[in-house]
C-alpha cells in the first residue's frame, strides 16, 4: 500500500504547482457557469416550472459542476499515459515493483484531486456571494452535506475507474483518438454535463441511471441541493460501491491479460 500512497502524495503536490493555469481555468469556468445559468433562467421563465428540479437546485447543480470540473470530466485525458503505451516507455512502468493498474489509478486520481483542489474553493466562494437567483445555496441540512462529500469522493473513485478502462483499451487499438472521442461524448452526455439529467425526458433518464457515468457527478450534486433525499442518497452509495467494484475488477483483469503478452513499441 505504501508505494501507492507516496505516489499519490508526490503527484498531488506536483499537480498543485500549476497555479497560473488554474487561475485561467477559473475565469473561464465562472463565465461558463454564469452563462449557463442565464440560459436556463430564460428557459425557466418561458415554460412552466419543470416538476423535476426547481431553479435553486439547478443553480447549485451548475456551480458544483464548474467547481468540481477537474474531477468529473471524463475527457480530461492524461496524454502522458497514452504516449507511454504508444512510444514503448511503458517498459519502465512495468519494471516498477507495483501493480500497473494500481499505480496508474493513483496517478490519475491524484492529478484530478490536485487540479480540483486549486479550483473548487474560489468557485464555491464566489458563487456563494452572487446575488440571489444566481447564488449557490447552502445544503438544507448537515446530513446532505456529509452525504454529498461521501458520494463525491466515491464518484471520483468511480470516474477514475471508468477512465482506466479507456487507457487500457489503447493497448489494443494503439491510437487513443477513437475511444477518447467516443467515451468523452458519451460520458459528458450521460453524466448530465450537457444538460442536467432531471431535465431530460423520462426514457432518457432511465438510460442514464443504468450507466455508470451519472453516479460520478449527477448523484452528489443532486444530493447537495436536496433534489435527491438523504434516504435515497444513502442507498445510492451502495450502487456507487458496486460500480467501483465491478469496473475496477474488470480493469484489473484486462490489464493482467494485456500485460502478459504486451508488445513494446519503438526501439
Site of interaction with other proteins (CB under 8 A) = 20-21, 24-25, 27-28, 31-32, 35, 38-39, 42-47, 50, 175, 177-178, 181, 185, 188-189, 194-195, 199-201, 204
By beta-carbon proximity to other proteins, the closer residue of 29 and 216 is 29
Torsion from C-alpha of 72, 241, 198, 186, nearest 10 degrees: 50
**Cβ atoms 235, 149 nearer than 8 A:** no
Nearer to other proteins, 58 or 223 (CB): 58
Helix 230-260 to helix 142-173 angle, to the nearest 10 degrees? Answer: 20
Cβ closest to other proteins, residue 45 vs residue 260 = 45
Closer CB to other proteins, residue 39 or residue 128?
Answer: 39
State the DSSP string of the chain. -HHHHHHHHHHHHHHTT-HHHHHHHHHHHHHHHHHHHHHHHHHHHHSPPPTT--HHHHHHHHHHHHHTHHHH-TT---HHHHHHHHHSTHHHHHHSSS-HHHHHHHHHHHHHHHHHHHHHHHHHHHHHHS-GGGPPPPPSSHHHHHHHHHHHHHHHHHHHHHHHHHHHHHHHHS-SHHHHHHHHHHHHHHTTSSS-GGGS-HHHHHHHHHSSGGGTTHHHHHHHHTSS-HHHHHHHHHHHHHHHHHHHHHHHHHHHHHHHT------
Alpha-carbon distance of 88 to 76, in angstroms, equals 22
Quote the least distance from Cβ 43 to other proteins, whole Å: 5
**CB nearer to other proteins: pick between 195 and 253:** 195
Closest CA to 152 of 34, 69, 77: 69
Based on CB atoms, which residue is closest to other proteins, 51 or 97? Answer: 51
Pick 47 or 238: Cβ nearer other proteins:
47
> Minimum distance between the CB of residue 173 and other proteins, rounded to whole angstroms?
10
Amino acid at each position: 500500500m505504501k508505494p501507492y500512497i507516496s505516489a499519490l502524495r508526490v503527484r498531488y503536490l506536483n499537480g498543485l504547482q500549476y497555479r497560473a493555469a488554474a487561475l485561467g481555468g477559473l475565469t473561464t469556468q465562472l463565465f461558463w457557469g454564469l452563462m449557463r445559468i442565464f440560459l436556463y433562467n430564460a428557459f425557466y421563465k418561458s415554460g412552466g416550472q419543470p416538476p423535476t428540479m426547481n431553479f435553486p437546485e439547478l443553480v447549485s447543480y451548475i456551480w458544483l459542476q464548474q467547481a468540481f470540473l477537474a474531477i468529473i470530466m471524463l475527457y480530461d485525458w492524461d496524454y502522458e499515459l497514452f504516449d507511454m503505451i504508444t512510444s514503448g516507455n511503458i517498459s519502465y512502468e512495468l519494471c516498477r515493483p507495483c501493480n500497473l493498474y494500481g499505480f496508474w489509478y493513483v496517478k490519475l486520481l491524484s492529478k484530478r484531486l490536485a487540479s480540483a483542489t486549486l479550483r473548487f474553493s474560489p468557485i464555491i466562494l464566489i458563487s456563494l456571494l452572487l446575488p440571489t437567483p444566481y447564488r449557490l445555496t447552502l445544503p438544507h441540512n448537515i446530513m446532505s452535506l456529509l452525504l454529498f462529500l461521501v458520494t463525491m469522493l466515491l464518484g471520483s473513485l468511480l470516474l477514475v475507474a471508468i477512465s482506466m478502462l479507456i487507457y487500457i483499451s489503447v493497448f489494443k487499438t494503439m491510437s487513443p483518438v477513437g475511444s477518447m472521442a467516443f467515451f468523452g461524448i458519451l460520458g459528458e452526455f450521460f453524466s448530465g454535463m450537457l444538460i442536467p439529467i432531471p431535465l431530460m425526458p423520462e426514457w432518457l433518464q432511465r438510460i442514464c441511471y443504468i450507466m455508470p457515468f451519472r453516479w460520478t457527478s449527477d448523484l452528489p450534486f443532486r444530493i447537495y441541493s436536496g433534489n435527491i433525499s438523504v434516504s435515497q442518497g444513502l442507498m445510492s452509495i451502495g450502487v456507487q460501491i458496486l460500480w467501483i467494484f465491478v469496473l475496477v475488477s474488470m480493469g484489473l483483469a484486462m490489464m493482467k491479460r494485456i500485460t502478459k503478452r504486451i508488445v513494446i513499441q519503438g526501439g
